[in-house]
């Protein structure tokens, strides 16, 4: 069992238990914490998330996570964002109006526009095209399927941070990475073998 201090942020998101089980499954002992000070000595931080941008940012701000998160990521320490944990990294979200987010990665979160009979939200399994090699993809075949649940999608300004892309009416960034930051629009903890491999890659220090 690894002795790394793996922190799963508890800021009111609903999928903490499933993320913790996935982390345990790949051989790590997570610490689910609602204390921003837990980031000080973390070896890796996972920020899960479900729900709306406004609620997410309100919870992060009320629980004093926003600035410690910015500082943690600016220090180039290992960070994994999941679903809303990716969207909250961007500058702002169009969800429910115009909501400022953490502004760690420049860009906006945009609403899917309905095309023909396309269902919104995007819910279910979809392929992720790997745009370039990255340690987070180790042992995961290109165009593997992952599980998505979202009505809005991330649109970073800098294309170079986009390492995984998925099609749903439009092509969108389904995996982003910069230095020791990586984030996915899908839920690895709901994505079977490929999702567990992604957690394993992150937690074994693949993000350099």
Q: Is the per-residue pLDDT at 188 higher than 70?
A: yes
Counting runs of H as helices and runs of E as strands, what totals does the chain give?
5, 13
Using 50, 70 and 90 to split pLDDT, how confident is the model at 164? very high
Q: Which CATH number fits domain 6-203: 3.40.50.880, 3.20.20.70, 2.60.120.280, 3.40.190.10?
A: 3.40.50.880
Structural domain boundaries of the chain? 6-203
- Of the candidates 83, 99, 101, 122, the residue annotated as catalytic is 83
- Of the candidates 99, 122, 150, 189, the residue annotated as catalytic is 189
83 belongs to the catalytic site: yes
pTM check: above 0.75: yes
- Of the candidates 133, 150, 187, 204, the residue annotated as catalytic is 187
pLDDT tens-digit readout, 58-96: 999 999 999 999 999 999 999 999 999 999 999 999 997
187 belongs to the catalytic site: yes
- Contact at 8 Å (CB) between 95 and 53? yes
134 belongs to the catalytic site: no
Q: Is the per-residue pLDDT at 175 higher than 60?
A: yes
According to the model, what pLDDT value does residue 34 have? Answer: 95
- Contact at 8 Å (CB) between 31 and 20? no
């Amino acid at each position: 069992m690894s002795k790394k201090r793996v922190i799963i942020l508890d800021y009111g998101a609903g999928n903490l238990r499933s993320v913790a089980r996935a982390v345990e499954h790949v051989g790590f002992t997570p610490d689910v914490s609602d204390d921003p000070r837990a980031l000080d000595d973390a070896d890796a931080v996972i920020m899960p998330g479900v729900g709306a941008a406004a609620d997410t940012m309100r919870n992060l701000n009320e629980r004093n996570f926003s600035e410690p998160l910015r500082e943690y990521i600016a220090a180039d320490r290992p960070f994994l964002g999941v679903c809303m944990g990716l969207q909250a990294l961007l500058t702002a979200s169009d969800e429910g109006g115009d909501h400022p987010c953490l502004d760690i990665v420049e860009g906006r979160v945009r609403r899917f526009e309905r095309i023909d009979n396309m269902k919104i939200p995007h819910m279910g399994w979809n392929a992720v095209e790997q745009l370039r090699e990255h340690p987070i993809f180790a042992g995961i075949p290109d165009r593997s399927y992952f599980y998505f649940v979202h009505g809005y999608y991330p649109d970073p300004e800098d294309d170079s941070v986009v390492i995984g892309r998925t099609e749903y009416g439009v092509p969108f960034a389904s995996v982003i990475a910069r230095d020791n930051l990586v984030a996915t629009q899908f839920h690895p903890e709901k994505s079977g073998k490929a999702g567990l491999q992604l957690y394993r890659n992150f937690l074994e220090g693949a993000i350099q």
